[in-house]
Chain A
Amino acid sequence: MSRVDNQTRDLAAVAMPRRQRSAQSIEAATAYLFVTPATLLLFLLLLGPAASVVVLSFTDWQFGSKTFEFIGFTNYAEMFQDDVFWTSITNTLIYVSVVVVGSVSLGLMIAMLIESRPSFRRVWRTIYFLPVTATLVAMALVFEYILHPAFGPLNEFLGLFGVEGTNWLQNRSTALLTLCGIGIWQAVGFNMVLFLAGLTAIPTDLYDAVAIDGSDSTWDRFCVVVWPLLGPTTMFVVIISCIRSFQVFDTVKVLTDGGPNRATEVLLFTMFSEGFTYFRSGYAAALTTIFLIFVLILTLVQRISIEKRIHYG
């Protein structure tokens, strides 16, 4: 009897883990089942389109045609030999650097001014945030009027000081910078809001500590406390501003149409004209791939910097 007893016990001992194992695998299967819809949508809506753009960039497909052939790196070779592409890249980089530097520093300055004055804080915040919410295409009309060479208020204002304005949007040397100005105007509010959030996260005790430790000037306080502690925010703001200004298109399309003489030709505009004006979809896809690579690099920089360094516990 005791032997039988032992046997059953042994059997039970073996069976238990097996039952556990099957329970585990059921749990795993359920987990995969739950994840499936999200994964499918992720591939369908985000990764799929990006991948198909990359694939298309190796073809000669034209929009509307039923067939296409793989032509390897021909699109890229053509692109790198094309002056328009290089003009476009240069213009985009100039635009990005001017707008990022301008909107980040102005955004920080305005945020600090608003933060230092308790009165009307909300009003100021709303006013500076307005351009972010405004539709740029609609606002472009206003800018076209302001910048008009004959009756625009800007030139009239400059005339008061005896300065002769120019046809801002049609002058090769001012067109791109004028668009930069509009870009800054639009981005400042957004950056300001992010900086305001960063500023409120700085403990007020630190300002007190630095006041007692010997800083008499606002500049000392900025160097010792504000700037270092805003590090994570600044990094985020810079990356976001970079990505957003890489995507500049609407002002170019509406105000200058890439002109005069390609002075405001930017990456997205080139992509647009190749893809939707000349229907060279394969070539446009190659341009898009370049654009994606830029954005990807920026995103990676942001991820790495957030994980590695600028985080104070």
Chain B
Amino acid sequence: MSGVTINSIEKSFDQQKILKNVDLEIVDGEFLTLIGPSGCGKTTLLRIIAGLERQTAGSIQIGGQVVDELAPSRRDVAMVFQSYALYPHMTVRENIGLPLTIRRLNFFRRFPVIGRFIPGARAIMREIENEIQTVAATLGLENLLDRKPRQLSGGQRQRVAVGRALVRHPKVFLLDEPLSNLDAALRVQMRAEIIELHKRIGVTFIYVTHDQVEAMTMSDRVVVMMEGDIIQVGTPAELYENPRFVRVATFIGSPKINILDGIVLDDGSLAIGDYVVDRLVGHPAGTKIQVCIRPENIEVSKDQHRGFRCILQRHEYLGSELYLFLKPDSGDENVIMRAPIDQARKIENSEIIYVRAKEKRVLLFDQDGRRIEQNTDNKQIGPSEQHYVAG
């Protein structure tokens, strides 16, 4: 009942278009992440959903109701800010309780000291206190209720900000890069807590981040935005394995996907230098193709004819695996290969090796960056039996 529908939203500041005709359907109870490089409009979109920013054109529906004319406080959404935006002069208790006090107590009842003597005020205050206690218990903040925000650590502040959002039981949770001010260890922990929270309360979460790890690990669906446009929507796995644009392929995945210049030969095969990667149908000879291979889909080939020549420039040892930085002979940019420790360790720096893509693990894009769908039966050319042994 509390899905969010975004209908042809546009937003311009002065002459600049920040959002270009954005359409999106967010399902009730879904954890949806908006991801993109800074300046792509993801935060603006979130602020438009919240009502903090007014769209230039288009319409927003929350739970089937058009909310374009509603003030932020009446849209039944809660927001967690990157800076936490806690009220510094209030205790944790007052911070969490504020959405309730401001709604349920009128100005006079809220008045310091005198307010509580106005009939009815005390009952409401007790009720609010109970709700604050409940929320504090869920978030483990019981012992911090009398502290001021400046006496809290980053993670605790973040939790208070979540508590302030939670206390109102909103239909939709909006989170604007809530973890980016935390250190790495705490970020992992808070990530788990937010996932847990989403599972427990089951309302719609819209999460903005530029961190692909957060997007991949937390979301049901991820929306990739670039330059004010949505360029792909899908589950984390879809985005990683089946990017529709080379921009998505490079944005998602770390280390970055390798892009090599391929060319279609006369016989319809696609080659990087001497190395024939694939066979392509429907592309004239001479067409340039961007051949993208993820680092884990590269393997070492002993057979010189079944790979392209590279010089190993350096290793990066990560404990569980190894990154090899290879300089291809073809003059392409450095290629990164992710290899299991025991296999790749024996290769020395400046050694010449031949590498190749694993079968069916190549992503092809045309010169405009659009994905080229490969035939389902695409295979490596040449004899099927290979005796490539790593390192």
Residues of chain A touching chain B, judged by Cβ–Cβ distance below 8 Å, are 203, 205-206, 208-216, 219-220, 223-225, 228-229, 231, 312-313
Contact = CB atoms under 8 A, between A and B. Distances in A.
Contact of B73 (A203, A213, A229): A213
13 contacts: A205-B81, A205-B85, A206-B87, A209-B79, A211-B72, A213-B99, A213-B164, A214-B98, A214-B103, A224-B102, A228-B90, A229-B89, A313-B150
Interface of B: 47, 50-52, 71-74, 77-79, 81-83, 85-90, 98-99, 102-103, 107, 148, 150, 164
B81 A209 contact: yes
List the 3 closest pairs (A to B, CB-CB), nearest first: A313-B150, A312-B88, A205-B85
A205 B98 contact: no
A214 B73 CA distance: 4
Contacts of A224: 87, 98, 102
A231 B52 contact: no
Given A213-B102, A214-B73, A208 B88 contact: no
B171 to A, nearest CB: 13
A208 B78 CA distance: 11
A212 B87 contact: no
Most A C-beta atoms less than 10 A away, residue of B47, B102, B103: B102
A208 B85 contact: yes
A209 B89 contact: no
A231 B73 contact: no
B71 A216 contact: yes
A212 B88 contact: no
Given A206-B87, A224-B98, A215 B73 contact: yes
B74 to A, nearest CB: 8
A203 B82 CA distance: 12
Contacts, number: 71
Contacts of A215: 73, 102
Given A225-B87, A228-B89, A212 B77 contact: yes
Nearest to B165: A212
Contacts of A228: 87, 89-90
Nearest to B86: A209
Contacts of A206: 85, 87
Contacts of B98: 210, 213-214, 224
Nearest to B161: A209
B89 to A, nearest CB: 4
Contacts of A231: 89
A251 B102 CA distance: 47
Given A216-B74, A312-B148, 15 more contacts: A205-B83, A206-B87, A208-B81, A209-B79, A209-B87, A212-B77, A213-B99, A213-B102, A214-B73, A214-B98, A214-B103, A215-B102, A219-B107, A224-B102, A228-B89
Contact of B89 (A211, A220, A312): A312
Given A206-B85, A228-B89, A229-B88, A212 B52 contact: yes
B62 to A, nearest CB: 13
Nearest to A228: B89
A214 B99 contact: yes
Contact of A216 (B73, B77, B86, B150): B73
A206 to B, nearest CB: 5
A113 B83 CA distance: 26
Contact of B72 (A205, A212, A225, A312): A212
Contacts of A223: 107
B83 A312 contact: no
Nearest to B151: A313
A212 B89 contact: no
Contacts of A216: 71, 73-74
B101 to A, nearest CB: 9
Contacts of B148: 312
A216 B52 CA distance: 12
Contacts of A220: 102
A211 B70 CA distance: 12
A225 B87 CA distance: 7
A231 B148 CA distance: 16
A224 B86 CA distance: 11
Contacts of B79: 208-209, 212
A212 B73 CA distance: 5
A212 B78 contact: yes
B112 to A, nearest CB: 10
Given A211-B71, A213-B99, A313 B88 contact: yes
Contacts of B89: 228-229, 231, 312
Nearest to B111: A223
Nearest to B50: A212
B102 A203 contact: no
A203 B73 CA distance: 19
A206 B83 CA distance: 9
A209 B50 CA distance: 10
B52 A211 contact: yes
A231 B88 CA distance: 12
Contacts of B83: 203, 205
A72 B56 CA distance: 79
B71 to A, nearest CB: 6
Contact of A312 (B81, B85, B102, B150): B150
Contacts of B73: 211-216
B203 to A, nearest CB: 15
Contacts of A214: 73, 98-99, 102-103
Contacts of A208: 47, 50, 52, 72, 79, 81, 85
A210, A213, A215, A231 interface centre (most CB from chain B within 10 Å): A213
A210 to B, nearest CB: 8
Nearest to A213: B99
